[in-house]
Structure 1
Amino acid sequence: MERFTRFLKVPNVVARHDPVVQPIYQSSIFRMPDHQVAAATEEAVHPTSYYTRWGNPTVSYLENQLSTLLGCNATLVFPSGMSAITTTLLALVSPGERILASRALYGDTTRFLVEELGRFGIEVDFFDPSRPQHLPELLARGAKVVYFESISNPELRVADFDAIRSACESREVLTVCDCTFSPPGVLGEKVRAADLVIHSLTKYMSGHYTVFGGSVSGWQALIDRIWHKQALYGACIDPQAAWQISQGLKTLELRIARQNATAQLLAQRLASHRHVEQVFYPPLDPRPEVASLAQKYLTGGGAVITAALKGGRAAAVRLIENTEVFGLSVSLGGITSCAEHAQSMSHSMLGAMDASTLSDASVSVPADNLVRLSVGVEDPGDLLRDLTSALELSGMPVATRAVAGEFVKG
């Protein structure tokens, strides 16, 4: 046998003892022992070592971690949160059927529901998950799926899980909840959010702003159904990314505890600041219905605070441009703090949509004075001083801001 051929055929090295950390199986294919096994695996659902678009041992390990953490039968992992959302919904709903969705969602989720699903002949109606008293009436129109977020983005309204489940179970309607804003440590352990729970693993779960990922968890039969679409659409995560998320998950409890405590402290201080019109943070929310639902379903407030500033958009932009510890970034849930102007950043895609369509659907568009803050694990005192300094600058006339900025930051 020629040397280069022998080189390509060098056997894999397998650890003699169990590794402490799940190895990365960075392989797109796996060698089958015989044709019978190969043919059987070709017909299997979600095999872990046949073709990585269908499954991979490193990916399966992450899926098992998530199922254990979330108390679910099974999980699928995707290359992004949006991939998890779109694939799940397309697997559950067919042309001519109807979805009921929250009117306050992440911007691209709303855009997918309003623009893309219409192309497939799927109709979408909207409701308020924090006030689902009209849900039975809407369900009477024949909805197949109810889709909502556990905590709305960016105004942080908590969904009434029990009321939604009660209305849907009586009509055998599937519920799908995006729980990105309420990972374990925020949502109560005994809360049953929905039949299927989605997470953007890019956020809290991985926690370090180094990787993209998404997941859907729930009953095995539903997950198997979604897997067929995932494999067909090619919505598979790379094993390296799955491994990174897997490592991030191991510190989730520690990170969430720190972020909950710091965010609550900052929310309390912001609520009394003279340049702040209103603070949205579930456990401290001035809206009684939100605070009541937060007390019922949440064990922590999470790392996200949304503040409505006096002075409108100009004040909001001045705030996010004058922070030093809070970076001007669009994401959330990681170890470093960041701030954004919700209307023009995370929800900017709503501005590109037809205004009358959004109005007819009663879709919620963020106000122009909203700043969304994601609290990391930095020193709470440093974060508070950073926000206080930036807030002082946000409320100053333009002519005096530069001089004041030199004084504050010097």
Structure 2
Amino acid sequence: VAKGEKDGHIYGRNTNPTVQILEEKIALLEDAESATAFSSGMAAVSNTLFANLNPGDRVIVGKDTYGGTSKIFLEFLPQFDIDIAFCDTTDINAFEKEMNSKCNLLYLETPTNPTLKIQDIKTLSNIAKQTGSLVVVDNTLATPINQNPLMMGADIVIHSATKFLCGHSDALGGLVCGDKKNVEKIYHFREINGSCLDPSPAYMILRGIKTLALRMERHNENALKLTEWLSKHNKISAVFYPGFSDHPGYDIAKEQMRGFGGVLSFLIKDELSISKFISSLQFAHAAAHLGSVETIVGPSKTTSHVENTPEERSQLGIPENLVRCSVGIEHIDDIIQDFDQALNKI
């Protein structure tokens, strides 16, 4: 077994039967040849990047990437002489200009967290592949129920399994999917640095996956209904949700997604009233989390991008008055009633 001549498990940091079942299931859901699991979503992101980049490489990153991920690009990779270019990848012309320079890896989220921008996976992948770039897509917000980036040209798909895959706010985990060659390279890096997934959270995530399709159907439905209601409220200046017909990425989302996910964000006109709004919520939870069965609300500056400075948030296109909402599977009337009474108090 140790020499790879037989299948089996001899050391928990390398492989585990419960974790292996989880890896096999996510590979099936993403139509991938292989998958490997990590102790968290950020472990999956960082291992993927460090396993595939070398000094002198150049990375193009979608501009409004999740705050924790952006810190890897802003703070850590430059220490290893890796050049980072943040780009509005929803602007194909701007992206093509960036691709005129060297690009070893393209990193995308779609929908993005927390601005819910939509990336044209097929078009961006086709352009990136012309220069031999590796294409990595974080599919956490969409989930494999709503979207499969590998089928549209991506090389590697990442999930924070802590979120919708688990679905109950009680386990941490991360997953990477792709062809066998790409996954084995990342697995070997994980094997040495030790960021493996424990079997207990793997079991909890497997439990969550059993109801994933049912939950996502309700998340999708509730998020659209809440978006429509918020868009008409006089204390909200904008709502961002890819399933809303006014969303600039709506047409692309319709082409590459089967459902639009359970996360939306919105701008409250008076930034100073955000705290009052959130503290007035009685049904929804105030937390730095998403993807659970409960509705969860929080300002992006203290949740998704709390690790970023105000200057970095501005650079990444994250407004200070942006509020993220992970819409749960509760009855939509209860959610709307709670938002209504909280907004009426500001």
Aligned twin of 1:369: 321
The answer to whether the 8 A contact 1:188-1:299 is kept is no
AA aligned opposite 1:63: E
State whether residues 101 and 127 of structure 1, in contact with CA within 8 Å, keep that contact through their aligned partners in structure 2.
Answer: yes
Pick from 238, 261, 264 the counterpart of residue 305 of structure 1. 264
Give the match for residue 194 of structure 1: 154
Contact 2:238 2:267 in 1 (8 A): yes
Q: Rg: which structure is higher?
A: 1
Q: CA deviation at 1:371?
A: 1.1
State the TM-score, normalized to the length of structure 2.
Answer: 0.95
Aligned-partner Cα distance in 2 for 1:189–1:162: 8
Structure 1 CA distance for aligned equivalents of residues 242 and 284 of structure 2: 21
1:60 is the counterpart of 2:20: yes
Unaligned runs of 5+ in 2: none
Q: 2 CA distance for matches of 1:368 and 1:318?
A: 15
| Structure 2 partner of 1:294 | 253
CA shift, 1:188, in A, is 6.1
| C-alpha displacement of 1:98 | 1.1
TM-score, normalised on structure 1? 0.81
The corresponding residue for 1:142 is 102
**Could you tell me how far 1:137 is from its partner in structure 2?**
2.7
- Tell me if structure 1 keeps the 8 A contact 2:30–2:148: no
* Structure 1 residue identity aligned to 2:93: Q
Query: Which residue in the other structure is 1:79 paired with?
Result: 39
Q: Which has the higher contact order (CA 8 A, sep 6+)?
A: 2
TM-superposition CA deviations, 1:180-220 (whole Å, max 9, x none): 11113322699526110000000000100000000110010
What one-letter code is carried by the residue in structure 2 that aligns with 1:375?
Answer: V
* Partner residue, 2:344: 392
1:95 partner SS = coil
Which secondary structure does the structure 2 equivalent of 1:184 belong to?
helix
Work out whether 1:380 is the aligned partner of 2:332: yes
User: Structure 1 pair 165/319, CA: closer, same or farther in 2 (3 Å)?
Assistant: same
TM alignment of 1:145-294, pairs within 5 A: 145-187=105-147, 191-192=151-152, 194-284=154-244, 286-287=246-247, 289-294=248-253
Residues 205, 252 of structure 1: 8 Å contact kept: yes
- Distance in 2 of aligned mates of 1:148 and 1:232: 26
- Per the alignment, residue 344 of structure 1 pairs with 302
Secondary structure class of the residue paired with 1:368: coil
Q: Counterpart of 1:370 in structure 2: which amino acid?
A: L
Contact 1:329 1:340 in 2 (8 A): yes
CA distance in 1, matches of 2:332, 2:95: 41
* Distance in 2, Cα, partners of 1:237 & 1:113: 24
Deviations 1:126-169 (A, max 9, x none): 11222232323322322110001011111101101121111011
Aligned-CA RMSD value: 1.8
1:112 matched to 2:72:
yes
Report the 3-state secondary structure (helix = DSSP H, G, I; strand = E; otherwise coil) of the residue aligned with 1:383.
Answer: helix
Compared with structure 1, are the counterparts of its residues 108 and 388 closer, same or farther at alpha carbon in structure 2 (3 Å cutoff)? same
* Structure 2 CA distance for partners of 1:114 and 1:190, relative to 1, 3 Å: closer
Shift of 1:258: 0.8
- Residue pair 1:100, 1:124 contacting (<8 A) in 2 also: yes
Alpha-carbon distance between aligned partners in 2 of 1:188 and 1:95, rounded to the nearest angstrom: 31
Q: Aligned with 2:237: secondary structure?
A: strand
Give the whole-Å Cα distance in 2 for the aligned partners of 1:325 and 1:366: 26
Within 5 Å, give how 1:354-365 maps onto structure 2: 355=311, 358=312, 363-365=315-317
- The Cα shift of 1:74 comes to 0.3
Contact 2:32-2:150 within 8 A present in 1 as well: no
Distance in 2 of aligned mates of 1:311 and 1:137: 37
What amino acid is the match of 1:390? Answer: A
Where structure 1 has 5 or more consecutive residues not aligned to the other structure, the ranges are: 1-36, 395-410
Q: Per the alignment, in what secondary structure is the counterpart of residue 339 of structure 1?
A: strand
What residue in structure 2 maps to residue 326 of structure 1?
A: 284
Aligned partner letter, 1:392: N
% same residue: 30
